[in-house]
């Protein structure tokens, strides 16, 4: 496994692999890898001849006052996990490499970015789409693998791929969870001992919503009211959003159907956690 930090070196490696007609699979991340990331790498290994992992804490997707500076970073530990997962190249560019002086081009997906995380984090998806487009151009993967943990991100990337005719197959893999149900996230390290059990309120809300639906409750307003009441009982919790949306349009629904996804973003203390899941099997 090699670690590449410059764009031009990465491009040279890609040219040599493409010359040999080998297919590249690609997993973009911000690093501080956990088993959720590893599940994406495992799939990547199966899907391509060569596997590239990018580790880049992308400044353009963080807003003012968000955790860009504090975001956990550990390239040494990540390298070990990546090597075990069969990664061929870690692409870990500096911000200067990706956004040199004079940088001026951004990719903006409209519509589905106006809701959920897009509404609470203005400019977030513009940063995500810009960096993912750049990474796709540099790495030229046949397949790119994302997690359903970031449900809206996946939908936005699919939209971008379609709209810009990018020749990349996008795969979305299920959420990987801790044994007690908490969705794995690099940000979970921010949680204190007191907050950690309270963070379970996200996955428990999902389970409760599915239970209500299975028992015949289809009224979105009633389900959301119950979930919000329960979440607000956790002293450290502050709701950003709790919504039930159509899986493709991400528009709010009035009644639950087979396309319904519950999406939550909740601060536990200062840590913003997200989770989601379908409400009908
Ligand atoms: P991040 O490093 O948080 O930007 O995530 C990089 C990729 O890993 C994204 O496609 C995420 O959706 C995915 N991912 C993050 N957490 C999980 C998880 N718990 N299970 C599956 N995929 C995940």
* pLDDT on residue 226: 98
Q: For residue 273, how many C-alpha atoms fall within 13 Å in the half-sphere facing its CB?
A: 29
Compute, in angstroms, the gap from residue 233 CA to the centroid of ligand 1: 28
**Mean pLDDT, consecutive 10-residue segments, the chain of 281 residues?**
98 94 97 98 97 98 97 98 98 98 98 98 98 98 98 98 98 98 98 98 98 98 98 98 98 98 98 98 90
Q: How far apart are CA 109 and CA 229, in angstroms?
A: 34
Q: Which of 25, 28, 33, 36 to mutate to test the pocket of ligand 1 (most atoms within 8 A of CB)?
A: 36
Tell me how far the alpha carbon of residue 141 is from its chain's centroid: 18
Predicted model pTM: 0.98
Q: Is 276 left (phi over 0), alpha (psi -120 to 50) or beta?
A: beta
Q: Which of 26, 40, 42 to mutate to test the pocket of ligand 1 (most atoms within 8 A of CB)?
A: 40
204 CB neighbour count, 10 Å cutoff: 18
226-229: long-range contacts, CB 8 A cutoff, minimum separation 24: 227/262, 227/264
Closest residue by Cα to atom 5, ligand 1, is 29
| Cα–Cα separations (whole angstroms), residue 64 to 6, 57, 109, 129, 235 | 27, 15, 21, 18, 26
Please confirm, yes or no, whether 34 is among the known catalytic residues: no
Q: How far apart are CA 233 and CA 229, in angstroms?
A: 7
- 78 in ligand 1 pocket by Cβ < 6 Å? no
Closest residue by Cα to atom 10, ligand 1, is 146
């Amino acid at each position: 496994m090699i670690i590449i930090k410059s764009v031009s070196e990465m491009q040279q490696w890609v040219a040599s692999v493409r010359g040999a007609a080998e297919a590249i699979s690609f997993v973009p991340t911000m690093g501080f890898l956990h088993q959720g990331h590893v599940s994406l790498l495992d799939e990547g290994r199966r899907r391509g001849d060569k596997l590239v992992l990018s580790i880049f804490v992308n400044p353009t997707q963080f807003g003012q006052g968000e955790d860009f500076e504090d975001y956990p970073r550990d390239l040494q530990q990540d390298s070990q996990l990546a090597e075990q997962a069969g990664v061929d190249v870690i692409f870990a560019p500096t911000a200067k490499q990706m956004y040199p002086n004079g940088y001026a081009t951004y990719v903006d997906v409209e519509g589905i970015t106006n809701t959920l995380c897009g509404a609470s984090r203005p400019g977030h998806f513009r940063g995500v789409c810009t960096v993912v487009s750049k990474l796709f151009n540099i790495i030229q993967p046949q397949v790119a693998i994302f997690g359903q943990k970031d449900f809206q991100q996946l939908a936005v990337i699919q939209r971008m791929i379609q709209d810009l005719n990018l020749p990349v197959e996008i795969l979305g893999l299920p959420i990987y969870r801790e044994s007690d149900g908490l969705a794995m996230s690099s940000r979970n390290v921010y949680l204190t001992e007191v907050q950690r059990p309270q963070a379970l309120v996200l996955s428990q809300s999902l389970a409760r919503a599915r239970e209500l639906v299975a028992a015949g409750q289809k009224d979105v307003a009633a389900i959301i009211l119950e979930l919000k009441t329960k979440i607000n009982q956790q002293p450290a919790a502050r709701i950003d959003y709790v919504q039930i949306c159509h899986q493709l349009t991400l528009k709010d629904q009035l009644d639950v159907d087979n396309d319904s996804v519950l999406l939550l973003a909740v601060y536990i203390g200062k840590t913003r956690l997200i989770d989601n899941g379908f409400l009908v099997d």
